[in-house]
Amino acid sequence: MQNWPELPIAAWRDTYATLHLYTQVVGKVRLALVPKMNQWWNVPLYVTTRGLTTAPMPYGDRTVSIDFDFIDHALRIDDSDGRRRAIPLVARPVAEFCHLVFDDLAFIDVEVPFDPMPQECPVTVPLTKDVGHASYDPSQARAFFEVLRRVDTVFQLFRSRFRGKCSPVHFFWGSFDLAVTRFNGRRAPLRKSAIDRDAYDEEVISLGFWPGDDWTGATDALFYSYTAPEPPGLASERLSPGAASFSAQMKEFVLPYEAVRRSADPAKEILQFAESTYQAGARRAGWDIAALAYP
């Protein structure tokens, strides 16, 4: 089995932060063009064989897609009329990247309303004016993609084992994580914030991969799982594999990516974590585990 790449936050934090903001530029285009869906499923990007994609987005009687290619290091914009634009992924300020994206969209006659303020991160400079984030190391971006594509495959397998409503495997550009979420069909208590009110209007158990904290560098890459609303006693559940634990700070089950990467079978480790945390959450929250299993 091919070794999984190292992904220490200290080694690629600058590239990570810049790429995080690049994906926000593209993600906001998707947010503007795709009709609102339950639990914000109109927001995320998706893993491809080369990087990340918006998937086809409606624009009049055309469709448009934007793809990050982390193998040839380019951003590609395509429409259903056969027009293509390409922007090299190199070290350039977020503001310049933003202007290039919208110039190329205009070239293929696509106009998109755009909110330039970053979301779910401490950056307060508008994306159109951000010249402070300008790093892009191709080898680091490729390593990140190699992790994403492997994790996506495992998450797809975990998703296939559930009969109930389940999200696609989503890449959320706000929090910069890959996640798949199971639902049991019951409505959840109303939350205060507009985003959370829709994201958590049903009971969920979510599994995710987060490459760490790019803004402070305090946390390395990890897998996580949470049950919402959190049932009593969840933190006391015993988990598998042994490196998994409950984080009181994050209020989630966590499994360090490094422990997975160093294991003899990383995919098996992730599936063990996914299944044990799901079983713990579902049991504590009173889900009908047998009825929701597939097959």
Question: Which tens digits make up the pLDDT trace of 149-162?
Answer: 999 999 999 999 99
> Is pLDDT of 254 > 90?
yes
Q: What residue has token string 């480790």?
A: 269
Q: For the chain, which residues make up each domain, given as ranges?
A: 9-129, 138-292
Torsion of CA 46, 174, 226, 239, to 10 degrees: 70
Find the farthest-apart pair of alpha carbons in the chain and give their distance in angstroms, rounded.
56
CA 160, CA 267: separation in Å to the nearest integer?
Answer: 15
pLDDT score at 78: 98
Strands (E), 118-233: 170-172, 177-187, 202-210, 222-228
Secondary structure of residue 93 in the 3-state scheme: coil
CA 29, CA 114: separation in Å to the nearest integer?
Answer: 7
pLDDT (tens digit, 9 = 90+) per residue, 139-187? Answer: 999 999 999 999 999 999 999 999 999 999 999 999 999 999 999 999 9
Q: φ and ψ at 177, to 5 degrees?
A: -135, 160
Amino acid at residue number 131: V
CA 117, CA 124: separation in Å to the nearest integer?
Answer: 7
Nearest CA among 144, 127, 123, 110 for reference residue 28 = 127
pLDDT (tens digit, 9 = 90+) per residue, 55-77? Answer: 999 999 999 999 999 999 999 99
pLDDT (tens digit, 9 = 90+) per residue, 188-216? Answer: 999 988 888 989 999 999 999 999 999 99
231 to each of 84, 107, 115, 274, how far by Cα in Å? 49, 52, 37, 18
Percent of the chain scored above 90 by pLDDT? 95
Tell me if 209 sits within 8 A of 176, measured CB to CB. no
Q: φ and ψ at 266, to 5 degrees?
A: -55, -40
Report the phi/psi class of residue 233: left, alpha or beta, with left for phi > 0 and alpha for psi in -120 to 50.
Answer: left
Nearest CA among 275, 273, 227, 219 for reference residue 249 = 219
Strands (E), 50-153: 51-53, 57-59, 62-69, 74-79, 84-88
> Is pLDDT of 16 > 80?
yes
CA 131, CA 87: separation in Å to the nearest integer?
Answer: 18
- Please compute the mean of the pLDDT values over residues 277-285 and round it to a whole number: 98
Nearest CA among 204, 151, 148 for reference residue 19 = 148
Q: Residue 27 — pLDDT band, cuts 50, 70, 90?
A: very high
Q: Residue 1 — pLDDT band, cuts 50, 70, 90?
A: very low
pLDDT score at 295: 85
- 173 CB-contact burial (10 Å; exposed 0-12 / middle 13-18 / buried 19+): buried
> Is pLDDT of 39 > 70?
yes
Q: Residue 2 — pLDDT band, cuts 50, 70, 90?
A: low
